[in-house]
Structure 1
Amino acid sequence: MKFATYTVDGQQFYGAVADGGVIALSPDCPEWPTLRNVIAADGLYKLAQMAQGRDVTHADGTFRWDIPVPDPEKIICVGVNFPDRNAEYKDGQDAPPNMSLFPRFARSFVGHGTPLTRPPETPQLDYEGEIAVIIGKGGRRITSEDALSHIAALTLCNEGTLRDWVRHAKFNVTQGKNWDGSGAMGPWLVPFTSHDQITDVALQTRVNGDLRQDDRTGRMLFPVARQIAYISTFTTLMPGDIIVSGTPTGAGARFDPPRFLVPGDQIEVFAEGIGTLTNGVVDE
């Protein structure tokens, strides 16, 4: 069963995704205001039980998809995490021994079906298809061997980037990664029940139907288990925290000439076992 956060007439709900729409469950769970609270209480299984036998309360087309965890304490992204992505930098350097990390703010993401926003300050809006890992059981100095047991769920991410703004300082990409509404996350959470859901699955990105990114998580330079272990060394991971695990080669900036996103484009991020995240593009 999949779970989503969504808005109807200005009111936000969460519930179980079903054929034809969503089954609202948040009205029955006032003790859990958002899916972050559900995850912290290890309540996804209870939600699944509650949804059994219920009818759809909000039909497709009557609501707006939101990012599944609307209020995470932190979102940490892993950069340059596939072999071909490292080669794209053409600096003659091997992959580093440790991963590159940067933060993103929840406000920089929209949900499935909402267009990404291209700001007036730059036309260099780019796409990055990724799998996002939702932490369920928090912890500090988590071992790689135990790391995957700390995952509650998976979702998809289009880690939209304003390319020239990631070079506004000597070694700081945060500015180019956090424009309001420049990325997307969703459509839903898929509960994590098996290591096979993340260790070697297909990850693809299409722009207007054209396959741009195509790789497998088994080729990550820093697998998700190591990501969790490494990040939790310096910061306590909390339930609902999100780790955006890295994008394959094929982003628009790496073409000659670059293929940045323009209004009217449609981007689809797909991963086996999770689904497809689809967003358009509009000018601010």
Structure 2
Amino acid sequence: MKLLRWGTAGAERPGMLAPDGSIRNLGGVLTDLSGAALSPESLARLAALDPATLPVVAPGTRLGPPVAGTGKVICIGLNYADHAEEAGMAVPPEPVIFLKASSAISGPDDPVELPSGAEKLDWEVELAFVIGTRAKYVEEADAMAHVAGYMLANDVSERAFQTERSGQWTKGKSHDTFFPCGPWLVTRDEIADPQALALGASVNGAVMQAGTTATMVYGVRFLVSYLSRFMTLEPGDIVTTGTPPGVGMGMKPPRFLQPGDVVALTGEGLGTQSQRVVPA
């Protein structure tokens, strides 16, 4: 099942993708895709619906972030050995954790802003997962039961802010529009193995990233358990799991985004995104 949110920014409504490719309005069934709506019981009720009985949303309608009410966006850094190598950093002995402000969340095809004073705007295609039920001190064997589903995400980064301005990475990760996600939330049952998905990114049509989640250092199951020992994971929280090689800062010479550039992302079973870079 592919769940989504559609409509103008800040006023999105819940929906689902029907088998015929049309978007169907779930507004008569639930208020939004947040909190308890992401529980296994709620998702089972939605899966039992016949999409053909739901109103059709007009083609071309904007898609927003697939999940509402996100309290935390938790990011895992250097989680692909080949990406750590291109960044000139060692594979960490434990997951690198940093936070991205929830105000950075945007729709899959919304513009990405080049912040005032930015010098090194970069792209990162990633697999993200969404928590469906509260997780605290979870064992790996039980971890996947807490995952509602998966999304494609772009962990947009301003590298000068991130690494050259002192302090934590968060300042280079949290500008408005720095977390396009979607186009939909793919429920856990539709992804047989989250560690076997192809991911790709291009800039202005030129392929930059072509990787697979098989080369992740720390997989989804481990991350749910690990993170739940440091913070309680609540329904709607998003964890984005790192990027394969091919980001701008790893190129020789480095290549960073400018206004007018278009970044396109793909994820196996997860859909596609496209963002044009605009001045903030």
CA gap 1:9/1:141 in 2 versus in 1, 3 angstroms: closer
2:67: which partner in 1? 69
Contact 2:198 2:268 in 1 (8 A): yes
Residues 17-96 of structure 1 mapped to structure 2, 5 A cutoff: 17-18=17-18, 19=20, 21-29=22-30, 32-40=31-39, 42-54=41-53, 56-61=55-60, 63-91=61-89, 93=90, 95-96=91-92
1:237: which partner in 2? 233
Give the partner amino acid of 1:28.
V
Equivalent-residue separation in structure 2 for 1:90 and 1:177 (angstroms)? 19
CA positional deviation for 1:34:
3.4
Residues 230-269 of structure 1 mapped to structure 2, 5 A cutoff: 230-269=226-265
Equivalent-residue separation in structure 1 for 2:16 and 2:88 (angstroms)? 45
Contact 1:66 1:110 in 2 (8 A): yes
CA positional deviation for 1:197:
3.4
State the Cα deviation string for residues 203-234 of structure 1 (Å, max 9, x = none): 11111222111221111111111111110011
Equivalent-residue separation in structure 1 for 2:193 and 2:120 (angstroms)? 33
State the Cα deviation string for residues 116-151 of structure 1 (Å, max 9, x = none): 111122132110000110111222111122212221
State the Cα deviation string for residues 158-192 of structure 1 (Å, max 9, x = none): 11001100025545101000001123111111110
Equivalent-residue separation in structure 2 for 1:124 and 1:161 (angstroms)? 8
Equivalent-residue separation in structure 1 for 2:79 and 2:71 (angstroms)? 23
Secondary structure of the residue aligned to 1:187 is coil
Contact 1:269 1:276 in 2 (8 A): yes
Equivalent-residue separation in structure 2 for 1:237 and 1:77 (angstroms)? 13
- Structure 2: give runs of 5+ residues left out of the alignment: none
Q: Number of residues paired by the alignment?
A: 279
Give the partner amino acid of 2:14.
Y
CA gap 1:9/1:131 in 2 versus in 1, 3 angstroms: closer
CA gap 1:268/1:223 in 2 versus in 1, 3 angstroms: same
Residues 171-182 of structure 1 mapped to structure 2, 5 A cutoff: 171-182=167-178
Give the partner amino acid of 1:47.
L
CA positional deviation for 1:50:
2.9
Give the partner amino acid of 2:87.
Y
CA positional deviation for 1:35:
3.4
State the Cα deviation string for residues 77-98 of structure 1 (Å, max 9, x = none): 000011111112335x4x2210
1:206: which partner in 2? 202
